[in-house]
Amino acid sequence: MSRIHFAVFLACAFACTDETEPPPQAATNDPNEVVLEDDASGVELELNIGGVDREARTALSGGATTIFKDDADAFETPAPNLSGDHLERHEVGDEGFGRAHVAGAGDGTNGGLGPVFDNESCEACHLGDGRGRPPLPGEAFSSMLFRSSVTGSDANGGPLGIPAGFGGQLQMRAIAGYQADIQAAVTYVESRGTFADGTEFQLHVPQYTLTGMYPGLPASYLFSPRVAPPVFGLGLLEAIPELLIRARSDPRDFNRDGISGRANTVYDAVRKRHALGRFGWKANTPNLFQQSAGAYNGDMGVTSDLFPGESCAGRLDASCNDAHGPEVNAQTVADVAFYTQTLGVPARRNLNDPTARRGELLFYASGCDGCHTPTLRTGFLRGVPEVSNQVIHPYTDLLVHDMGPGLADGRPDFQASGSEWRTPPLWGIGLVETVNGHTRFLHDGRAYSLLEAVLWHGGEATRARDRVRHLTQPDRDALIAFLKSL
């Protein structure tokens, strides 16, 4: 078979998305059920050179916000087009992002931690503004959390929090005198398979053990482990016009390409109305102010004007239910949101490397761009002209896609089902090991490599995944080299 026809069998390293986690009853907890079906593609795809987005073949991944760093600071550098008051405000937000909160009043800017929480600062989860990972054996959870709910929807159509003070997140730490919601551990069972050329691969099936539950946790609940995602480039994603995102939705797959992404409509707590979801593993948050205030509340137990109740409200503990003023003011939340809006995006690298360019052709020939849209254009984002009117290359459509039972968590989130996940941006993915010192991918970090992340894909990505299994070793390497150049 010619090299052109080998392109036929390609499956995109991120054919449709990069995230999820299993609840207690999730099929992925059973390694015997994590098996790949036989090749479902049935046809060979000709290498479509004309289908390559040549506009995306540029170093300027973030348009004018692109930075040319490939070291440990690659994710935490301000956009180069910031200046004057905006650069100063970015630095103020950076301080807030890194500020460790403590129990009680603190010094007036860093109090309010707990009573239950997962970490003490934004940066403690998003180390280097990058990607979190599951704990190593013997480590505590640090950059990973557990979303939680019970069956049903709340008044705004979102997940129904667990009653009795557990809410929408099961926290694993508590201040002195209080008990955390849970203690957790994770181990992995290997599920083995082979590529068409006989090379063996492994999938790592996560097995979660929850112990030390606070009294009152119901017997039946849904939970979803999530690692902290990178936070650079978010302002650009917030500036993409809603109509452009919704126009790419194809829930009934009218074009018959097997991809039926759709927008998630969620509740905007800032404007008190429903809006397009853009952020979070299931696109369950509409804007970065709400994302920041929600992280203060859920991750650190710090209240704000937007979320004035403690995350443990409903417990018998007095501090969980006592009315008090916001523990972080709206300006601080806005400054932290501005910080994430104005981080620079790392430049694409190795543009002329022949292996990476071969992998780029395979990426398109496989249809990976059906979900990982290479090029988008931003509109106007009020107060942030630096991210407005930019041509960017994030490799995402910001839609949610059905990724199949292997990655399903069984926990709906607004209109996203238990098997749907937002397409994650791929920009900067080749620098995760440099910045964060690991190569753990997908929503819960179960994949030990980019290639394993490909093989976990199912649902709308099944055909692409199966084609990857038929690639030769050199073509598999080329595909990964392309992804690492982003």
| Dist CA 301 CA 310 (whole Å) | 6
| Dist CA 274 CA 395 (whole Å) | 26
Judge contact between 132 and 281, C-beta under 8 A.
no
pLDDT of residue 105: 87
Least confident of 33-42, 166-175, 380-389: 33-42
pLDDT interval class at 18 (50, 70, 90): very low
Q: What is the phi/psi pair of residue 209, to 5°? A: -120, 120
Which tens digits make up the pLDDT trace of 144-161?
A: 999 999 999 999 999 999
- On the question of pLDDT at 194 being above 80, the answer is yes
pLDDT of residue 50: 54
107 is written with which tokens? 């010094």
* Burial status of residue 169 (CB atoms within 10 A of its CB: 0-12, 13-18, 19 or more): buried
290 is written with which tokens? 């709400």
Judge contact between 77 and 67, C-beta under 8 A.
yes
Which tens digits make up the pLDDT trace of 73-127?
A: 999 999 999 999 999 999 999 999 999 999 998 887 899 999 999 999 999 999 9
Pairing between strand 144-153 and 222-227? antiparallel
Taking the model in full, what pTM does it have? 0.91
Least confident of 19-23, 267-271, 312-316: 19-23
Residues 411-430, mean pLDDT to the nearest whole number? 98
CA distances from 200 to 15, 192, 194, 473 (A): 21, 7, 4, 11
CA distances from 417 to 17, 114, 194 (A): 14, 31, 30
- On the question of pLDDT at 181 being above 80, the answer is yes
Using left for φ > 0, alpha for ψ between -120 and 50, and beta otherwise, residue 185 falls in beta
CA distances from 30 to 27, 118, 189, 190 (A): 6, 27, 9, 11
pLDDT of residue 370: 87
Share of the chain above pLDDT 70, in %: 90
- On the question of pLDDT at 9 being above 80, the answer is no
| Dist CA 293 CA 330 (whole Å) | 9
| Dist CA 212 CA 426 (whole Å) | 37
- On the question of pLDDT at 35 being above 50, the answer is no
What mean pLDDT is reported for the chain? Answer: 90
- On the question of pLDDT at 57 being above 50, the answer is yes
Domain ranges for the chain:
3-485
Residues 436-465, mean pLDDT to the nearest whole number? 95
- The runs of H, that is alpha helices, within 351-398 are 354-365
Which tens digits make up the pLDDT trace of 223-275?
A: 999 999 999 999 999 999 999 999 999 999 888 888 999 999 999 999 999 99
Which tens digits make up the pLDDT trace of 457-474?
A: 999 998 888 888 888 999
pLDDT of residue 468: 84
Which tens digits make up the pLDDT trace of 327-353?
A: 999 999 999 999 999 999 999 999 999
Residues 391-420, mean pLDDT to the nearest whole number? 97
Q: What is the phi/psi pair of residue 271, to 5°? A: -95, 0
